[in-house]
Structure 1
Amino acid sequence: MTSGTDRLRSRLLPNTAPWRGSRDFRLTWTSGTISLFGSIFTMTAIPLQIADLTGSPLAVGAVGAVELLPTIVFGLYGGLLADRADRRAVAVLTEAALAALSALLLTNALLGTPALWPLYAAAGLAAALQGLQQPSVEAMIPRLVPHEQLVAAGALLSLRWSLAGLAGPAAAGLLIAWAGVPAAYLVDLGTFLLSLALLARVRPVPSERDAEAPVLREFVEGARYAARRPDLLGTYLADLAATVFALPTALFPFLAQELDALWALGLLYSAAAAGSLLAAATGGWTERVHRHGRPVLISAALVGAAMVGASLATDLWAVLLCLVVAGGANWIGDTFRSAIWNQSIPDELRGRAAGLELLVGSAGPALGDLRAGSLAARQGIRAALRTGGLLCLAGTATLTAALPALWRYDRCTSPHVEEARAAAR
């Protein structure tokens, strides 16, 4: 009985070998977790402070518009930078700049009458800095852990997003209610400084190529590489199918009103994170899957099905269960997409590929909220949820038929994986 229990535990629990075996991955993971947790405090505080200063929902919603363009532009350039410069150095410098922004926000919040414009300026600058940073941090990972541990490393990286997404908003809300908005910025500043100290201890990760081509040509080179690989292109489109059609967080306040459960709004926001955390905590099985394209497509279909279920549910707890399922399925899709990216993309293109990933990851939720909001205004909340779920299912079926290379993708037989493995050796 004990041996059977141990085998079951080993199959379900995440593999921590990358965390235990690589000092640099451990430092990067811990630094990112601390930084992400602190950033959630600022992400919570800025909209609240704008609401207090203006009393306008439109002014609060404008924060997303201010953030989107810098994320896209600087994310793409950050991908190019990750292929040209020392990735650790880019991460350290941008982390230091983000800490300085937190200090400015804290100073503004401590004024007798805080100014409004620094909040928008800080939101836009933070989005630009994160766009520069994230491709370098993601492109570092294949250089910090052995090639055969990249699936486990991706699962552990997804785990930190789940942990922060579940605990961060609740902790930020409690702190702001108890000590005010300046306390949130102070926590964020402290976490950035601690994260920076850890990140500075990671060994340098310099570029392994000489970059002399014009910037535009290198952008085109990265885009052409993705376009030549239908399996890779399919991972981006599957992510868009889920986020554009089936993860409409903008509808949650209205859904809570319709369910006569405004008290449960926080539960609606955290349900997907809870599903992600549950999937991550039992995700040891992901390492034994070698046909990575299939779970990418199946998980996107599950997200769509869960949204259809949520649109039909009349009970709050049934809606929450559907959102938990959607969050867990999305975690599975993210894990296998990350595995395909990390295991099969050449190191000299990894930064630009990460820039494309950031573009998809940023544009998808923003377009999804816009789609859901406009459709809900015309047809109602339930129709927007149901239509989005059905479109996600239809989009996933179309991708499966149109891009069979993604469904057939097998890490054991993919020539791209073999080439990346040989280069890593």
Structure 2
Amino acid sequence: MGGDRRGWRRHAIDLSPLEHRDYRRLWAGNAIAFVGFQVTAVAVPVEIYDITGSSFWVGMMGAVGLVPLVVFGLWGGAVADALDRRRVLLLGSVTMWLTTLGLLVHSLLGVESVAVLLALVALQSAAFAVVGSTRGAIIPRVVPPEKIAAANTLGFTTSNVSMMAGPLLAALIITQVSLSAAYALDAVLYLAALYAAARLPSLPPLGEISAPGLRSVIDGLAFIATRPVLLVSFAVDIVAMVFAMPRALFPARAEELGGDAAVGWLFAALAIGAVVAGATSGWVGRVQRQGVALVAAIVVWGLAVAGAGLAGNLWLAVFLLAVGGAADLVSAVYRQTMLQTYAPDEMRGRMQGVFIVVVAGGPRLGDVRAGTTAAAVGVQASWVGGGLLCAAVVLLALAVPTFRRYRAPTATDPQPSADPT
């Protein structure tokens, strides 16, 4: 019995990063706030559709949010490298909270202005980019190097829990109470993130400081371009999302697998798999060959997606998508951890800014790829072919020696070599 318990602990999610007070506050604050963020992510499109009756205007949310996400992801990372990261995180968090209050006031007053809603979405997207890039750069300052992978696993797992719970909670509140109540809940829950940011210690920049302008952003991109480990880690993520993200094909596939009820399960399957993987992720932090592990996880992602496209019934498709979601969580942990530990502290904000841009932009490009390919060759060919192509192309990353040999840092070797060769 004792041996069974010890074996379970080795595979259960590693909670040891929560022993560090500042990380514990950040994790808890973000976990609580992200539930509200997901509620608002449902409420805004519902409100826009109620006002316009048009899916076109709902789709415009993605367009108006993408540009500020890219711009402020890159610029916000540069700011996080030049200023006290606590202050940058707090400013970005306050801005996000104020946008939620703006949505609440707009709803309470019954203004029904799509222009105002889209403007608030753009502002929220900009603030989200700054907050995300800064928080990612803070993690290596509040936990030891050997715990960064576990800290990232905790963060990604709770985010996926919120991605499941938030929309369900939003549907309940919107249908049983009101849109205003949904925004109010988000505003209240986001206070947890504000508290966590406010309680951080001062986190001034370390090393060489660059003014947060265009030159600083270009320096960050040049740093990535001359470091094969970082360049390949971004490249494999883009391959995974552009070639194999099947999200845009879910509605069409659902018609074959059960209609409206099926589409909800298809959308939920990836998050379900990610949560299960997070709950059993104790082994993730013990893997040293993180470059090879990252490629293996993306190969599993591509093959699982391809298998789901071939599945003849809903539950097999959901199971295979859940396997893909589990692999995606593992790959996300390794990509984030490599980025946080390989780059020096004075570059981490800019690296996280690029990470935010790639993570948010990749799936959008994947939607475009999947939709246009499906129009040309059919849904199944687009879905299955994309997954197989992803699994094949990502193996090319192993041809890069520094990436193939990359190992996670340890407590005695906290900063891996940044040798660009």
TM range (shorter): over 0.9
Query: Which secondary structure state, in structure 1, belongs to the residue aligned with residue 200 of structure 2?
Result: coil
Query: Which secondary structure state, in structure 2, belongs to the residue aligned with residue 83 of structure 1?
Result: helix
1:93 paired residue among 91, 94, 99: 91
Structure 1 runs not aligned, ≥5 long? none
CA distance in 2, matches of 1:236, 1:354: 11
TM-fit CA distance, 1:250: 2.1
Query: 1:289-300 maps to which residues of 2 (within 5 A)?
Result: 289-300=287-298
Q: Which residue of 2 aligns with 1:392?
A: 390
TM-fit CA distance, 1:369: 0.6
2:379 paired residue among 357, 372, 381: 381
TM-fit CA distance, 1:420: 7.8
Change (3 A) 1:71 1:239: same
Aligned residues of 1:345 and 1:417 also touching (Cα < 8 A): no
| 1:228-274 CA-partner distances (Å, limit 9, x unpaired) | 22121111111111111112322222221232331132221111111
Q: Which residue of 1 aligns with 2:248?
A: 250
CA distance in 1, matches of 2:307, 2:191: 43
RMSD over aligned CA atoms reads 2.0
CA distance in 2, matches of 1:268, 1:353: 32
Aligned residues of 1:33 and 1:164 also touching (Cα < 8 A): yes
Change (3 A) 1:216 1:114: closer
Q: Which residue of 1 aligns with 2:38?
A: 40
TM-fit CA distance, 1:139: 0.4
1:64 paired residue among 53, 62, 65: 62
Query: 1:255-334 maps to which residues of 2 (within 5 A)?
Result: 255-334=253-332
Query: Which secondary structure state, in structure 1, belongs to the residue aligned with residue 109 of structure 2?
Result: coil
CA distance in 2, matches of 1:223, 1:416: 26
Aligned residues of 1:345 and 1:416 also touching (Cα < 8 A): no
Change (3 A) 1:397 1:210: closer
| 1:66-116 CA-partner distances (Å, limit 9, x unpaired) | 111110011000110110011111111111111111111111112345211
Q: Which residue of 2 aligns with 1:224?
A: 222
| 1:33-83 CA-partner distances (Å, limit 9, x unpaired) | 112111101110111111111111111111111111110011000110110
Q: Which residue of 2 aligns with 1:135?
A: 133
Query: Which secondary structure state, in structure 2, belongs to the residue aligned with residue 219 of structure 1?
Result: helix
Q: Which residue of 2 aligns with 1:193?
A: 191
1:179 paired residue among 146, 155, 177: 177
The alignment status of 1:409 with 2:400, answered yes or no, reads no
Matched to 2:104, the amino acid is L
TM-score (norm 2): 0.95
Query: Which secondary structure state, in structure 1, belongs to the residue aligned with residue 324 of structure 2?
Result: helix
TM-fit CA distance, 1:337: 1.3
TM-fit CA distance, 1:212: 4.9
Q: Which residue of 1 aligns with 2:333?
A: 335
Query: Which secondary structure state, in structure 2, belongs to the residue aligned with residue 204 of structure 1?
Result: coil
Q: Which residue of 1 aligns with 2:369?
A: 371
TM-fit CA distance, 1:417: 5.0
Query: Which secondary structure state, in structure 2, belongs to the residue aligned with residue 44 of structure 1?
Result: helix
Identify the range of structure 1 (328-337 vs 215-224) with the bigger mean alpha-carbon deviation: 215-224
TM-fit CA distance, 1:131: 1.2
| 1:193-251 CA-partner distances (Å, limit 9, x unpaired) | 23212321121211124535573332232222212221211111111111111123222
Change (3 A) 1:5 1:24: same
Q: Which residue of 2 aligns with 1:15?
A: 14
Aligned residues of 1:272 and 1:327 also touching (Cα < 8 A): yes
Query: Which secondary structure state, in structure 2, belongs to the residue aligned with residue 37 of structure 1?
Result: helix
Aligned residues of 1:25 and 1:141 also touching (Cα < 8 A): yes
TM-fit CA distance, 1:418: 3.7
Aligned residues of 2:34 and 2:162 also touching (Cα < 8 A): yes
Change (3 A) 1:56 1:407: same
CA distance in 2, matches of 1:175, 1:406: 47
The percentage of counterpart residues that share the same residue type is 37
CA distance in 1, matches of 2:105, 2:358: 34
CA distance in 2, matches of 1:254, 1:102: 33
CA distance in 2, matches of 1:9, 1:83: 40
CA distance in 2, matches of 1:385, 1:196: 41
Matched to 1:234, the amino acid is V
Query: Which secondary structure state, in structure 1, belongs to the residue aligned with residue 190 of structure 2?
Result: helix
TM-fit CA distance, 1:287: 1.9
CA distance in 2, matches of 1:269, 1:212: 42
Identify the range of structure 1 (37-46 vs 226-235) with the bigger mean alpha-carbon deviation: 226-235
Change (3 A) 1:194 1:411: closer
Structure 2 runs not aligned, ≥5 long? none
Matched to 1:410, the amino acid is R
Identify the range of structure 1 (73-82 vs 332-341) with the bigger mean alpha-carbon deviation: 332-341
Give structure 1 regions of 4+ aligned residues with deviation exceeding 4 angstroms: none
Query: Which secondary structure state, in structure 1, belongs to the residue aligned with residue 82 of structure 2?
Result: coil
CA distance in 1, matches of 2:242, 2:252: 18
Change (3 A) 1:126 1:420: farther
Change (3 A) 1:214 1:18: closer
Q: Which residue of 2 aligns with 1:149?
A: 147
Identify the range of structure 1 (364-373 vs 157-166) with the bigger mean alpha-carbon deviation: 157-166
CA distance in 1, matches of 2:338, 2:212: 28
Identify the range of structure 1 (387-396 vs 358-367) with the bigger mean alpha-carbon deviation: 387-396
CA distance in 1, matches of 2:193, 2:121: 20
Identify the range of structure 1 (272-281 vs 353-362) with the bigger mean alpha-carbon deviation: 353-362
Change (3 A) 1:216 1:99: closer
Q: Which residue of 2 aligns with 1:24?
A: 22
